[in-house]
Amino acid sequence: MSQTTFLKKIKHFVHNKDGASGIEYAILAAIVAAALVTVGPTFGVNLTAAFDKVAASIAKVN
């Protein structure tokens, strides 16, 4: 492969925007996954506490 052909392929790769949306979706998915890992345990504890309060309220009525 000649140097000019190589440079043309590099220029085409740099200016080609077709794969940009796929990369953007991958980055967005990684951010959402990181947020779920960070918030997940806290949300689970809060949800358990809420159900415990509901169960205690039901037990008082009966």
Which tens digit of pLDDT belongs to each residue from 1-41?
677 888 888 788 777 766 667 777 788 889 989 988 888 88
Q: Give the number of C-alpha atoms closer than 13 A to the C-alpha of residue 32, restricted to the C-beta side.
A: 6
**pLDDT value of residue 62:** 64
**pLDDT value of residue 20:** 62
**pLDDT value of residue 10:** 77
Tell me the mean pLDDT in the region 54-61.
90
**pLDDT value of residue 1:** 62
Q: What three-state secondary structure class fits 1?
A: coil
Is residue 52 scored above 90 in pLDDT?
yes
